């Protein structure tokens, strides 16, 4: 049921666009969703083509948003009421156990 004609990039973007507001997926989850383990590959695709998709809904396995884009992501999380958790230092991160989502 996959489309072998679709490029890895197109599949990644397709999955990210399917993530509903207030939910998130880890890079590894997105890769797994397309039948691959290229978590880093997903990150690269996002860096180049992520400008057209809700990249803030894709976070690291630890719950931290994209490196160097945390401040921007926080604005979206607050707007979408995404479950967040704060560390003692005030560092926020997505509450993966609650916000994690997977395509049906």
Partner DNA sequence: TGGGTGACTAAGT
Partner DNA sequence: CACTTAGCCACCC
Residues that bind DNA (CB under 7 A): 7-9, 26-28, 36-48, 50-51, 55-56, 58, 60-62, 66-69, 87-89, 91
Give the list of residues 6+ apart from residue 35 with CB closer than 8 angstroms, or none. Answer: 2
Q: What would you measure as the largest C-alpha separation in the chain, in angstroms?
A: 47
| DSSP letter assigned to residue 69 | -
Number of helices and strands (H, E) in the chain?
Answer: 5, 4
Q: Supply the minimum distance, in Å, between the C-beta of residue 88 and DNA.
A: 6
Q: How far is the CB of 1 from DNA (least distance, A)?
A: 18
Of 22 and 32, nearer to DNA (C-beta) is 32
Contacts of 100 (CB under 8 A, 6+ apart): 23, 24, 25, 26, 29
For DNA, which is the closer residue by CB, 22 or 39? 39
Q: How far apart are CB 6 and DNA at their closest, in Å?
A: 10
Q: Which is nearer to DNA, 55 or 77 (CB)?
A: 55
Nearer to DNA, 19 or 45 (CB): 45
Distance of closest approach, residue 24 Cβ to DNA, in angstroms? 11
CB 59 within 8 A of CB 24: yes
């Amino acid at each position: 049921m996959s489309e072998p004609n679709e490029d890895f990039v197109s599949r990644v973007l397709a999955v990210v666009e399917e993530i509903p507001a207030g939910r998130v997926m880890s890079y590894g989850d997105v890769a797994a969703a397309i039948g691959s383990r290229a978590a880093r590959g997903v990150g690269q695709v996002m860096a180049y083509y992520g400008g057209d998709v809700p990249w803030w809904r894709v976070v690291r396995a630890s719950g931290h948003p994209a490196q160097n884009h945390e401040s921007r992501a926080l604005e979206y999380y607050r707007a979408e009421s995404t479950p967040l958790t704060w560390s003692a230092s005030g560092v926020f991160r997505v509450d993966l156990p609650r916000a994690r989502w997977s395509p049906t």
